[in-house]
């Protein structure tokens, strides 16, 4: 039973000592209602939201422009190669003779079609490779899909002769794909413009060597596979300062006005170029130490007078 002092807002049912409450009209609800404050999202989610924001300068180049009339084509691709469909317009541009920048497993590279003379000339102009400097440090190299490409455009790696000489070729196979540029003797299949530049003097005509690479980078390898051909390349450095350009946005600012057609943004890289190994000598010599470690069968230039030990090589077997 309700307390005798309880006030009923309804009425009483006849015969029963029960108070029946009356339905309240909306105007009779309290004018002020208090609700609990919504819970704040966990800090980790708020931090993630801030992390995905890109700088205004990067957004400037991220518009999906896939026509040369629209200016520099700038494509952001996942370094893992998960969004390889984004690379299709880049492959088409390369087939049309475009010159652009792609990532490798070391630093960024300016690339073009190996069989396009006009594209190679444009690459040289964009990179400001002068005739007097060409060939001095092997400014152009070939990005290859496989050892088959290397065998096509060079005379190949030294192989064992069955008379006790070890096979360097089998040792090299353990380095590729990887951060190495191997200097080899060019074959007749390689266009001369890839080996020399300028007038056909004896100085340039005598140079028949070229650097070859098989990069271990998902984006680079997808482009090569989709193109179904190797690319001529040169590493990206500042136009005025001899330093690596590692941020695609900085590369766009520096080389966009020079006539660059496209950039594939695979993220900021580390200033660690490929290790260059001269394979044209009797013993392979490291002429530039980079990301790839010096292996037992390689010599440094300082130690090039010493002979490589046969036990450091993988023996030749059929």
CATH number at residue 230: 3.90.870.10
Q: Is residue 119 part of a domain?
A: yes
Q: Is residue 270 part of a domain?
A: yes
Q: How much is the pLDDT for 138?
A: 53
**DSSP letter for each residue of the chain:** ---TTPPPSSEE-TTS--EEPPPPPGGGS-S----PPPPPPPHHHHHHHHHTPPPHHHHHH-S---SGGGSSEEEE--TTSTTGGGGHHHHHHHHTT--EEE--SSS-EEEEETT-HHHHHHHHHHHT--TTTTTTS---EEE-SSHHHHHHHB-------SSS---HHHHHTTT-SSSEEEEEEB-TTS-GGGT--SS--HHHHT--EEEEE----HHHHHHHHHHTS-EEEEE-B-SSSSSB---HHHHHHHHGGGT--EEEE-----S--PEEEE-SSSS-EEEE--SSPPPTT-EESTTTTSPPPGGGSPPP--
Q: How much is the pLDDT for 290?
A: 96
Q: Is residue 37 part of a domain?
A: no
Q: How much is the pLDDT for 42?
A: 44
Q: Is residue 36 part of a domain?
A: no
Q: Is residue 254 part of a domain?
A: yes
Closest CA to 181 of 222, 138, 149: 138
Q: Is residue 25 part of a domain?
A: no
Q: How much is the pLDDT for 139?
A: 76
Q: Is residue 41 part of a domain?
A: no
Tens digits of pLDDT across the chain (318 residues)? 444 444 444 455 455 454 545 554 545 545 554 555 555 544 332 322 222 234 455 555 544 434 343 489 999 999 998 999 999 999 999 999 999 999 999 999 999 999 999 999 999 999 988 755 544 455 789 999 999 999 999 999 877 555 444 578 888 999 999 999 999 999 999 987 776 433 344 444 445 899 999 999 999 999 999 999 999 999 999 887 778 999 999 999 999 999 999 999 999 999 999 999 999 988 899 999 999 999 999 999 887 655 444 444 433 332
Q: Which residue has the tokens 């140079």?
A: 207
Q: Is residue 10 part of a domain?
A: no
Q: How much is the pLDDT for 207?
A: 53
d(CA 146, CA 179): 14
Domain ranges, residue 296: 66-312
Q: Contact 69/87 with Cβ under 8 angstroms?
A: no
Structurally, the chain folds into a number of domains equal to 1
């Amino acid at each position: 039973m309700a307390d005798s002092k309880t006030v009923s807002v309804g009425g009483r049912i006849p015969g029963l000592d029960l108070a029946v409450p009356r339905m309240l009209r909306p105007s009779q609800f309290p004018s002020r209602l208090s609700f609990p404050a919504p819970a704040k999202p966990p800090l980790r989610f708020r931090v993630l939201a801030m992390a995905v924001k890109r700088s205004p300068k990067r957004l400037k180049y991220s518009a999906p422009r896939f026509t040369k009339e629209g200016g520099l084509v700038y494509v952001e691709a996942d370094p893992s190669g998960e969004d390889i469909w984004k690379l299709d317009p880049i492959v088409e541009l390369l087939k049309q003779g475009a010159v652009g920048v792609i990532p490798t497993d070391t630093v960024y590279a300016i690339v073009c079609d190996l069989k396009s003379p006009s594209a190679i000339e444009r690459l040289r102009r964009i990179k400001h490779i002068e005739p007097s400097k060409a060939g001095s440090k092997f400014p152009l190299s070939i990005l290859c899909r496989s050892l088959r490409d290397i065998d096509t455009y060079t005379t190949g790696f030294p192989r064992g002769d069955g008379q006790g000489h070890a096979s360097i070729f089998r040792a090299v196979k353990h380095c590729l794909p990887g951060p190495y540029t191997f200097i080899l003797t060019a074959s007749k299949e390689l266009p001369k413009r890839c080996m020399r530049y300028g007038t056909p003097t004896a100085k340039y005509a005598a140079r028949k060597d070229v650097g070859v690479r098989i990069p271990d980078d998902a984006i680079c390898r997808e482009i090569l596979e989709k193109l179904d051909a190797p690319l001529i390349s040169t590493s990206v450095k500042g136009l005025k300062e001899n330093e690596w350009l590692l941020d695609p946005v900085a590369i766009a600012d520096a080389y966009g006005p020079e006539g660059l057609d496209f950039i594939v943004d695979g993220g900021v890289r580390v200033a660690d170029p490929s290790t260059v190994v001269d394979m044209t000598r009797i013993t392979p010599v490291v002429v530039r130490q980079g990301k790839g470690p010096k292996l037992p069968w390689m010599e440094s230039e300082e130690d090039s007078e010493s002979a490589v030990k046969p036990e450091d090589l993988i023996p030749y077997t059929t």
